[in-house]
Amino acid sequence: MFYRAVLAKKRSLLVSFAFVVSGLAFHTLAFSQSTEAKQSQHSETQNSLVEEVSRNVLKEADSFDPRSPKAWLERLAKQTKTQSYEVSFVLNIPGKDAQPYLWRHAVLEDETHIEQLSLLNGPGFEHIRVNNVVSLFQPGYPPYSIAGKAIDGPIPYALLYEPETLEQAYQFILVGRNRVSGRSAQQIRVTSRDKTRYGYQIWLDEETGMLLKLNMYGLNGELLQQIQVTQLKLDERIADIFKQLQRDSLPKAITVKMPPQRQHEWRLAFVPVGMRVVKQDIHQLAITGQVVEYSLFSDGLVNVSVYIQAASGAFQEDVNLNSGANTVHSRTNGKVQVTVVGDIPLVTAQLMAESIEVINPQ
Amino acid sequence: MTQQQEKLSAFLDGEGHDSDVINGLTSDAELADKWKRYHLIRDCMRNEMTSDLNFDISAQVASKLEGELPMVAPKPSWKELPVVASVIPLVKQSGQLAVAACVTAVMIFSYQSYNQPEESQPFLTAPTNGPLGGLAPVSLSSSNGVNRDDMARLLEQQRQINALIEDHQRQIRLKNAGNAESNQAKTTEGDELSEQTPPQK
């Protein structure tokens, strides 16, 4: 009798289990259906795919070629420059807190471009750009304005506005279509031509051409940084929001006195392909007051600073610091200390520092 | 019926050899189905399931779908989305801007450090070749072996590296500013002039 009771209990358990099993089976079925759908999508010919994409973007310029990554980037630049939009995105660096941003841009009736970028967590900060003047509001500092073509946010400036300048250093490859932020997107892989820098994957919205996602990868394919758009809204009425902005009340643009540019007596024999000197000068460091000879290199996506200073004795061996994308490499020969700082792999920083050579004064 | 089920369950467990059950299994389709299901459940519990389960419920799903009404809700266009929600934050912000403007007069001391190097330019050479020295503290190298000094050295190293990283970030922030400075200065001045000149006349 007791045994039968146990059996009955077991049976009720079995019945509930049967539900689980059938649920499972349904899942596998649904999954196999979706994979089938994907396969059939893949098996479509390239041409019909292209047609579909161009249909999606028919509002675009007549000469838009969805097969060319360059066309996609040009479209991105055109859209970010001319459209009125409101974008929410999250910057995620593995191991760190995610940082949510709000990014707005509008073109007013009088052709004024107004752009706004806010960090939404913590005390945050606020950038407002009116044409070519960027005002910065930060807690703890008096607000100020400086001249600038764009707000220097987490999304590289050159990618958004001047993609043509990146061609020397990077190659762009169309990877395929994907769904990102609930929209169909075109995926583009960006790699440096000499494989000395980090790689990127970007996803652009097919309908609007706007950026939806940007991933940065290390040399071994590890994810270093991620920008994910969570909301994208293109709306002429965003201009109305900016109309309320009292432009006169923004701080007046100050002119920053830059140290004069000069030609150093040294140069780097190795510089990654496509990297150019942006500025060279001698200045004092704000914190320690040390005097440094300075060069700023840039390929558009990343910036690398090279500092030459008299060896202070604090550095007796090489310094190699690497956290996420940021790298600091410093080496000294006892008299002179060379430091390379920037978002490049450590190997590249070392190569650059090693390649320093004195230019003959003659 | 329940008795039959119990018998079936017992039979499955290898306990009863009731001929009723065996007969029932061959004749009763429902019972046979149950027999099949019990086996499946047992396999599942004993982790003896084969990986490719072959349930055929597609017919049921299809019939369900058949009976379902098509979705007819129109796709909302972005024109209809309310902007009101986004207006409110900016109203707040413009208030902030007004406050910020009051402070404008006291502005920008953070960039003072930038103006310094120019003034002290004459002694700002840090030659990369030729004689060096004078600046390097001699005492540090003589007390190399002591641990505490090592610590001090590391701290100093840390401080210097931080200074370099901070400077790197500052330079980047000013990079675009530097580029746009020349043409920008002209345009804003031009605008201001054109605004000011008419009243003078």
Which of A241, A239, A283, A231 minimizes the C-alpha distance to A261?
A: A283
d(CA B51, CA A154): 47
Would you call B57 an interface residue with chain A, using a CB distance cutoff of 8 Å?
yes
pLDDT recorded at residue B135: 35
Q: Which residues of A touch B44 (CB under 8 A)?
A: 17, 21
Which residue in chain A has the smallest CA separation from B180? A148
Query: Nearest C-alpha of chain A: how many angstroms from B22?
Result: 20
Q: Are strands A211-217 and A113-119 parallel, antiparallel or unpaired?
A: unpaired
Q: In chain B, positions 31-50, which contact chain A (CB-CB < 8 Å)?
A: 37-38, 40-42, 44-45
Q: What are the CA-CA distances from residue A100 to residues A91, A120, A344, B201 (Å)?
A: 6, 6, 25, 51
DSSP element (H, E) containing A215: strand A211-217
Q: Which of A275-289, A338-352, B49-63, B85-99 has the lowest mean pLDDT?
A: B85-99
pLDDT recorded at residue B131: 33
Partner-chain contact B136 A313, CB within 8 Å? yes
Would you call B120 an interface residue with chain A, using a CB distance cutoff of 8 Å?
yes
| Phi/psi at B156 (5° precision) | -60, -40
d(CA A111, CA A239): 11
Query: Which of B167, B175, B195 to mutate against chain A (most A CBs within 10 Å)?
Result: B167
Query: Nearest C-alpha of chain A: how many angstroms from B29?
Result: 19
Count of beta carbons in the 10 Å neighbourhood of residue B42:
14
Would you call B84 an interface residue with chain A, using a CB distance cutoff of 8 Å?
no
Would you call B178 an interface residue with chain A, using a CB distance cutoff of 8 Å?
yes
Percent of chain B having pLDDT more than 70? 41
d(CA A198, CA A301): 10
Give the pLDDT of chain A (362 residues) as one tens digit per residue.
444 444 444 454 444 444 444 444 444 444 444 444 444 444 455 566 666 666 555 555 556 788 889 999 999 999 999 999 999 999 999 888 999 999 999 998 888 899 999 999 988 889 999 988 889 888 888 888 888 888 888 898 888 888 888 988 999 999 999 999 999 999 999 999 998 999 999 999 999 999 999 999 998 889 999 999 999 999 888 888 888 888 888 888 887 777 888 888 888 999 999 999 988 999 888 888 888 999 999 998 899 999 998 887 777 778 888 888 889 999 888 788 899 999 999 999 999 999 998 887 65
Partner-chain contact A253 B188, CB within 8 Å? yes
Count of beta carbons in the 10 Å neighbourhood of residue A171:
12
Query: Which of B3, B50, B153, B160 to mutate against chain A (most A CBs within 10 Å)?
Result: B160
d(CA A358, CA A338): 13
Note the ipTM here.
Answer: 0.75
Would you call A30 an interface residue with chain B, using a CB distance cutoff of 8 Å?
no
Which of A360, A158, A355, A167 minimizes the C-alpha distance to A271?
A: A355
Q: Are strands A326-332 and A336-342 parallel, antiparallel or unpaired?
A: antiparallel
Q: Which two tokens stand for residue B64?
A: 């369900």
One-letter amino acid for residue A70 of the chain: K
Query: Which of A3, A291, A321, A358 to mutate against chain B (most B CBs within 10 Å)?
Result: A291
Q: Which segment, B4-13, B34-43, B69-78, is predicted with the most confidence on average?
A: B34-43
